[in-house]
Amino acid sequence: MTPRDLPSVHELLTQLRVAPHHHAHALAVVRKVLDTARQTLLRGEPLPHPIEQTAAAALTAWQSASLRPVINATGVVLHTNLGRAPLPGLPPASGYTNLEYDLATGKRGRRDVHTGALLEAILGRPAIVVNNNAAALFLILNELASGGEAIVSRGELIEIGEGFRIPDIMQRAGAQLREVGATNKTHLADYRDAITDRTRLLLRVHPSNFRITGFTGRPTLEELVALGRERGIPVYEDLGSGCLVDLRAHGIHEPLAQTSLAAGVDLISFSGDKLLGGPQSGIIAGHPELVRRIRRNPLFRAFRQDKLVYQALETTLRHILLGEHDEIPALRMIRLTPQQIRDRAEHLAARLGPHATVEPGESVIGGGSTPDLSLPTFLIVLAPPAPPAKAADLERKLRANNPPVIVRVERDRVLLDLRTVFPEQEDALAQAITRALAQL
C-alpha cells in the first residue's frame, strides 16, 4: 500500500457515517489519522490496521471516558497510579447543592461546614481542607513563616513525589529553610541553638514515605512542643499519611493525628487519600487562631476544594466518627485477615482451573504510607498456558480487558491479590482471566 491508495478525507468520513453535529470534530480526527498513516507508509512501514478501523477507533476514543474504573489485583491498597484510597459509596451529587448556602438562615454560608464539624469532633480541634497535603504545607509556611525562618531537621527534608521536595516548597512559600542536626541524628539542642529573632516556625516532618534505620534519633514531639512554648514559636507537624483510626492491631504503627494534637502541637496537616481512606485533599488542624489566620490567607481560595471532594470527604469522615470502618474500602482491605483472603483466593482459583494456584504472599499499603510494612496475604498465581506465551502477554491481555485488570508480574508469573479486589468484582475478574487465557 502507498500513500496514493489512502482514501480522501471526504471518502473516509462518508464510510464512517459521522453524525452532522459531530462533523467538525470528526474532520479534525480523520485528517490526523490520514496524516499519521501517510507518514507511516512514506517510511516504508505497513499500516498496523485498516485505515477505516483506525479512524473508527480514534472517533470512539473521544466518546469514551478516559477516567475508568479498574480492578486492582495488585495487593497495593493505596495505589498511587490507581487513585490511592478507593472511595466509599457516595450518594448522587448531580444538580445543585447547598455548598455555600446556609439552609437555616437563607444566607451565604461556607463550604467548610460540610467537613468542619466532623473533623473537630474527631480531632478535638478546628480544621480546614485544601487540595492536598503539599498545598497545606505551602499555605502554612506562607502564612506563618514567610519572610522568616522555619527550622527543620536534615533527616526530614524529604521528596514527596514527582520531584517535589520540602526545601523547594519552603522557598516558594517565602520561608527560609534552617537545617539542623545530621541526616540520621538531630538533638533538641540543635533546634535550640538555631533559634534566632527570625525564627517563625519549628517544622517536624513525619517519615511516612521513608525510613532511616540504624544509629538514628530525634527529639520527642513533647520535647519539641516544650521548646516551642518556651520560645513562643509555633510547632507544626506534617503527618503525611493522616491516620485517624488506630490500626496497630493490624500491624500498622502510624501515629494518630489526634495523638499529635494531644501532645500540644500547634498545627498538623495530613493527606485525605491515604490512611484516612477518602479523596485527595489536605487537612490542616490545630490552634483555633492559627487555623483562622491560614484560612484568611489570600492563597486559601486558590487551594480550596470543590463540592465533589467535600461530599466524598464528608462521607468518609462520618464513617470514621461513627466507627463504621468497614464502610471505608481502604480500611476494610487493611483489616482483612490472611484466612479471609485465602478462602476467597481458593474459591476463585477453583473456578479458573489448572492454570491457577494459591500461595502465601504479601500485600503492601503503598501511596507513600508505611514504606517498610507488608501485610500477609494469599496470592493467586497464573502461569501462561503454554510457550511461547509469557506472563507479560497475559498481563497485557488483562490490562486491555473492560474493565482493565491490573496485576503484578514476578518471575514470569502473574500474581493476583484479592485483598484489593472488591467481592462484587470477582465474577468480572474470573471472566477476564478466562478470556485472556483462551486468547493465549
The tens digit of pLDDT for each residue in 157-214 reads 877 666 677 788 888 899 999 999 988 899 999 999 999 999 999 999 987 666 666 7
Same domain, 288 and 182: yes
> The sheet that has 356-366: what strands, in order across it?
356-366, 369-382, 413-417, 408-410
Give me the domain span that covers residue 137.
Answer: 101-327
The dihedral of CA 99, 104, 106, 110: what is its sign? negative
Same domain, 199 and 232: yes
pLDDT at 160: 67
Residue 94 lies in a domain: no
Q: Please identify which residue in the block is written with the cell numbers 459521522.
A: 18
Residue 411 lies in a domain: yes
The span from the CA of 225 to the CA of 233, in Å, is 9
**CA distance readout (Å), 31 to 10, 11, 44:** 10, 12, 20
The span from the CA of 344 to the CA of 351, in Å, is 11
Residue 96 lies in a domain: no
Same domain, 16 and 137: no
Residue 92 lies in a domain: no
pLDDT at 230: 97
Residue 88 lies in a domain: no
Domain boundary at 304, 327, 350, which? 327
pLDDT at 35: 96
* Cell numbers linked to 128: 480546614
Amino acid identity, residue 261?
A: L
pLDDT along the chain (440 residues), means of 10: 91 87 90 95 93 92 89 96 93 87 95 96 97 94 96 82 74 90 90 96 82 79 96 96 92 91 97 96 98 96 94 97 96 97 98 95 84 88 84 95 96 95 97 93
Same domain, 162 and 228: yes
The span from the CA of 149 to the CA of 141, in Å, is 9
Overall number of domains in the chain = 3
Same domain, 139 and 258: yes
* pLDDT tens track for 209-238: 666 667 778 899 999 999 999 999 999 999
Residue 312 lies in a domain: yes
Residue 386 lies in a domain: yes
Show Cβ contacts of residue 368 under 8 Å, excluding neighbours closer than 6 positions: 78, 80, 160, 161, 208, 209, 240, 241, 271, 274
Same domain, 208 and 282: yes
Give the domain CATH number at 192: 3.40.640.10
The span from the CA of 222 to the CA of 216, in Å, is 18
Domain boundary at 266, 301, 327, which? 327
Same domain, 266 and 359: no
Same domain, 193 and 282: yes
Mean pLDDT across the chain, nearest whole number? Answer: 92
Same domain, 158 and 187: yes
Domain boundary at 271, 297, 327, which? 327
Q: How far is CA 294 from the centre of its chain?
A: 25
**Full-model pTM:** 0.90
pLDDT at 19: 82
Residue 89 lies in a domain: no
Give the domain CATH number at 428: 3.90.1150.180
Cβ–Cβ < 8 Å for 148, 120: no
Same domain, 158 and 294: yes
* Cell numbers linked to 8: 480522501
Same domain, 168 and 311: yes
Same domain, 317 and 334: no
* pLDDT tens track for 20-49: 888 899 999 999 999 999 999 999 999 999
